Amino acid sequence: MKNLLTVFLLLSLSVFAHSETFFVKIALNENSYITLNFNSLDDINIDTRVKFIARMIREPFIDINAISKDYYNIKVKEGFKQDNKIITQYELIPIKKDRFSQIINTSGNLIVRREVYDTNNKLMYSYGYTEKIPDIQPTKKDLKEVNLEKDTLIYKGFQGKLIKKLEDGTIHYIFNDGLNKFSLFIRKNLNDVQTTKSLIYGNYLLSKKIDNIQYTVIGTIPFEEMEKFLSHIAAIDKKQ
């Protein structure tokens, strides 16, 4: 399952490197966290997987206008500064408990600090600049609009895009509502698959077998919603 999480983070998240000091805090599991403070991940003598997850979990920019108010209540706070820059804080609370809440501080479109919480208000992960904020702005590619393609899957505001087929035949989709993300992995023709639920590296993971197909969901939505989503996907697969 950890390998699937690695694929999810690698393909769905962006990364960039700067000399400014920043931190990343990640829930490794239900009971423990790891907090990293660094200038460069290459300088950290830590477990390679944790280093990779810390690097991948960091998204540099966000377009608040791309987040639908059909699914989130958005509270805005202004009037404070960091590194002499004006900071805007967005508290993004889901209208229903079907996805995770977030608190994001921004300077323009640059994410200065981000906190992601599950539906029980447990911190999944956070990251941000500790002191100096870099003077960078997103490119059009960083904030590109999502155009619906013919094979796009839609689920409660999440747009699902087929990413690739892995070497073992597993099909990988990424679903994104502009704020939260999750991956769906589909693998057919498995004989013995146990249902698995866990919190791992700041994400929820659910894997189960339905009609001889293994479905695995990894991301920032609760287990109850993962169950509903998989029932929805399995019903679509039956019709095909």
pLDDT averages per 10-residue partition of the chain, 240 residues: 55 45 90 82 56 76 93 94 94 97 96 97 94 82 58 88 85 93 87 87 94 92 97 83
> In this predicted structure, what is the pLDDT of residue 14?
40
Question: Which pLDDT value is given to residue 22?
Answer: 84
CB contact at 8 A, 196 and 205: yes
Plot region of 98 (φ>0 → left; ψ -120 to 50 → alpha; else → beta): alpha
pLDDT of residue 206: 97
| CA atoms of 132 and 19, how far apart (whole Å) | 10
Per-residue model confidence (pLDDT) at position 91: 98
Model confidence, pTM:
0.85
Return the closest-CA partner of residue 154 out of 233, 222, 219: 233
pLDDT of residue 1: 59
What integer pLDDT is reported at residue 96 of this predicted model? 96
Q: Which tokens belong to 71?
A: 């699914």
Cα angle: 144, vertex 184, 46; to 5 degrees = 80
Question: What is the structure's pLDDT at 45?
Answer: 52
201: DSSP letter: T
> Residue 35: phi, psi to the nearest 5?
-120, 130
User: In the prediction, which pLDDT does 218 show?
Assistant: 95
Tokens of 60: 């540099």
Domains in the chain, start-ordered, CATH in brackets? Answer: 2-129 (no CATH), 153-239 (3.30.200.100)
Query: 76 near 90, Cβ under 8 Å?
Result: yes
Res 18: pLDDT: 46
Q: Where are the alpha helices (DSSP H) in the chain?
A: 2-12, 48-56, 223-239
Question: Do residues 74 and 90 make contact, with C-beta atoms less than 8 angstroms apart?
Answer: yes
